[in-house]
């Protein structure tokens, strides 16, 4: 599988060209809401999964063909990117070669207690660790972490990283109905986050098919209520992705659809915006892929998503 994917439609970032450094689905968490599906290899062992030079070559080839196709470069994976030992080298090389693109790292934050992991992230423009719970029972229910991980250790790692990191630190909170959206948990989250001192809080919820069936997101009204617990912070409810469509041609559209939905389920409209082609082209090609057994359609929360075939 290619290490470069997208651009994918991101509700936070616009058109995000993904850089995947982890074999799916290797992660230190097995979050019930994960849009990439269940974790198949629960691990905290850092490895050199791919040579950084291979990733840089793929990135160079893509940006040569599509120089205006993306707004940001995002180190994000179907797993946890800080498990990659080449992360620091890759970040430094990407920033040196492509300084015009903001480089963002999305992480679950579980390994920030390790000084070497924190050091590897220092040259990124923005780091977005997640913190979905600050009580152990809820943490283990929503994130289903590797047995060796302790919640307080993770929180201390985020505090230490804030002291060392000069870039933008955002903390993402993914809210799941009936799991971590109680007044007690939200108040506790706000208290802990105050000690981390992020530049911004991103409030998210379940909007794509999750790893565990039955996991539900919060309504708009409930999200607005939850946001009130963070009114003293720079907090934002993550919105719906919107962009102007740009014609980048329809070459290899089927392959690009598959590569995108392998990372995250998408609607036809999201794929069209991301790939820069008309919605009817995406619909036509996705029907072909479905007949070939390469693509499925799944209804979640009233929306129809394109997903890879089982």
Say which CATH architecture domain 247-310 belongs to.
Orthogonal Bundle (1.10)
Domains of the chain by residue range:
4-243, 247-310
- Residue 20 CA to residue 25 CA, distance in Å, equals 11
pLDDT the model gives residue 262: 79
pLDDT confidence of residue 165: 98
Q: Per residue, what are the HEC states of 203-254?
A: EEECCCCCCCCCCCCCCHHHHHHHHHHHCCCCEEECCCCCCCCCCCCCCCHH
Q: How far is CA 140 from the centre of its chain?
A: 20
Specify whether the CB–CB gap between 253 and 259 falls below 8 A: no
Report the DSSP pairing between strands 14-19 and 4-10. Answer: antiparallel
Say what the pLDDT of residue 118 is: 98
Six token digits for residue 236: 């934002």
Residue 221: closest CA among 181, 173, 269, 267: 181
For residue 82, the model assigns a pLDDT of: 97
CA distance 180 to 188: 11
Give 25's DSSP letter: T
pLDDT tens-digit readout, 255-304? 778 878 877 788 888 887 766 677 888 888 888 888 888 898 888 888 88
pLDDT of residue 168: 97
Fold of 4-243: TIM Barrel (3.20.20)
The tokens describing 235, both together, are 């907090």
**How confident is the model at residue 245, as a pLDDT?**
41
What pLDDT does residue 134 have? 97
pLDDT at site 276: 64
Residue 282's closest CA among 308, 250, 234, 235? 250
Percentages helix, strand, coil for the chain (3-state, rounded to 5) are 35, 20, 45
Q: What is the pLDDT of residue 11?
A: 66
Digit-by-digit pLDDT tens for the chain (310 residues) are 568 888 876 767 778 898 998 988 899 999 999 988 899 999 999 999 999 999 999 999 999 988 888 989 999 878 899 999 999 999 999 999 999 999 999 999 999 999 999 999 999 999 999 999 999 999 999 999 999 999 999 999 999 999 999 999 999 999 999 999 999 999 999 999 999 999 999 999 998 888 898 899 998 889 999 999 998 899 999 844 444 444 344 446 787 788 788 777 888 888 877 666 778 888 888 888 888 888 988 888 888 888 888 7
pLDDT digits over 158-193, tens only? 999 999 999 999 999 999 999 999 999 999 999 999
Exposure string (b/e) for 207-231, b if CB count within 10 Å is 16 or more?
bbbbbbeebebbeeeebeebbebbe
Contacts of 44 (CB under 8 A, 6+ apart): 28, 83, 110, 111, 146, 148, 149
| Residue 246 neighbours by CB distance under 10 Å | 13
What is the distance between the alpha carbons of residues 163 and 36, in angstroms, rounded to a whole number?
31
In this prediction, residue 2 carries a pLDDT of 67
Alpha helices (H) in the chain, listed in sequence order? 52-65, 87-97, 115-120, 136-142, 151-164, 183-196, 220-227, 253-263, 268-275, 279-291
Count of other CB atoms within 10 angstroms of residue 70: 21
- 168/197 Cα distance (integer angstroms): 11
Single out the residue of 106, 123, 300 nearest to residue 212, CA to CA.
300
Q: How far apart are CA 138 and CA 10, in angstroms?
A: 27
Q: Kindly state the DSSP code that residue 71 receives in the 8-state scheme.
A: S
């Amino acid at each position: 599988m290619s290490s470069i994917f997208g651009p994918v439609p991101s509700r936070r970032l616009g058109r995000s060209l993904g850089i995947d450094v982890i074999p799916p689905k290797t992660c230190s968490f097995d979050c019930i809401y994960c849009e990439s599906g269940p974790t198949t290899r629960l691990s905290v062992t850092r490895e050199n999964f791919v040579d950084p030079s291979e990733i840089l070559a793929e990135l160079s080839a893509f940006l040569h063909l599509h120089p205006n196709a993306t707004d940001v470069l995002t180190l994000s994976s179907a797993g946890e990117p800080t498990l990659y030992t080449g992360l620091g080298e890759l970040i430094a090389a990407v920033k040196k070669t492509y300084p015009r693109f903001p480089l963002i790292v999305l992480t679950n934050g579980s390994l920030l207690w390790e000084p070497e992991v924190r050091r590897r992230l220092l040259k990124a423009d923005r780091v977005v660790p997640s913190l979905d719970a600050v009580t152990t029972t809820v943490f283990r229910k929503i994130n289903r972490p590797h047995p060796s991980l302790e919640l307080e250790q993770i929180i201390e790692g985020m505090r230490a990283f804030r002291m060392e990191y000069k870039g933008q630190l955002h903390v993402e909170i993914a809210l799941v109905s009936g799991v971590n959206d109680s007044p007690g948990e939200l108040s506790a989250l706000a208290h802990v986050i105050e000690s981390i001192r992020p530049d911004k809080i991103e409030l998210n919820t379940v909007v794509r098919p999750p790893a565990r069936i039955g996991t539900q997101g919060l309504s708009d009204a409930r999200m607005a209520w939850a946001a009130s617990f963070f009114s003293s912070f720079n907090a934002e409810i993550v919105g719906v992705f919107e962009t102007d469509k740009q014609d980048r041609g329809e070459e290899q559209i089927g392959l690009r659809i598959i590569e995108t939905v392998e990372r995250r389920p998408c609607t036809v409209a999201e794929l069209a915006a991301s790939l820069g082609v008309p919605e009817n082209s995406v619909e036509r090609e996705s029907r072909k892929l479905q007949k070939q057994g390469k693509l499925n359609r799944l209804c979640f929360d009233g929306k129809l998503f394109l997903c890879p075939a089982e």
